[in-house]
Amino acid sequence: MFGTKTLFICGAMLGVVACETQMPVEVIDTPKECAAASYQHLLWQPQSFLDGVTLPKNTRVIGPDMAVTMDYRSDRMNITIGKLGRIERIYCG
């Protein structure tokens, strides 16, 4: 009937096919970039200037000496306020 080589090759191919059908399929949701580039005109303005500005969802305003998480989120805009109460940095993360 079948030789040892043929059975070995069929067994190996069946193992590969079995592995492929058991692998889960993941849908990767690519996060959107934040809009920090559009808000660079706010640099060096007083923090109170932000009261009249509509900021994107997930925007984080970081005050001086304020503790924040270090997790990176490409869809989050960060606005750093300096010790003099002015906007010093606007960036994604």
pLDDT at 1: 54
Asked whether the predicted pLDDT for residue 3 surpasses 60, the reply is yes
Question: Which tops the pLDDT comparison, 25 or 86?
Answer: 86
Task: With a cut of 50, say whether residue 27 has pLDDT above it.
Answer: no
CATH of 36-92, one of 3.40.50.1370, 3.30.10.10, 3.30.428.10, 3.20.20.140: 3.30.10.10
Give the number of other Cβ atoms within 10 Å of residue 83's Cβ.
9
Residue pair 39/61 in contact (Cβ under 8 Å)? The answer is no
The per-residue pLDDT for 32 is 75
pLDDT at 10 over 80: no
Phi-psi region of 68 (alpha: psi -120 to 50; beta: other; left: phi over 0): beta
Q: Do the beta carbons of residue 62 and residue 80 sit within 8 Å? A: yes
pTM: 0.66
- Which residue bears the tokens 């970081």? 62
pLDDT tens by residue, 32-71: 789 999 999 999 999 999 999 999 999 999 999 999 999 9
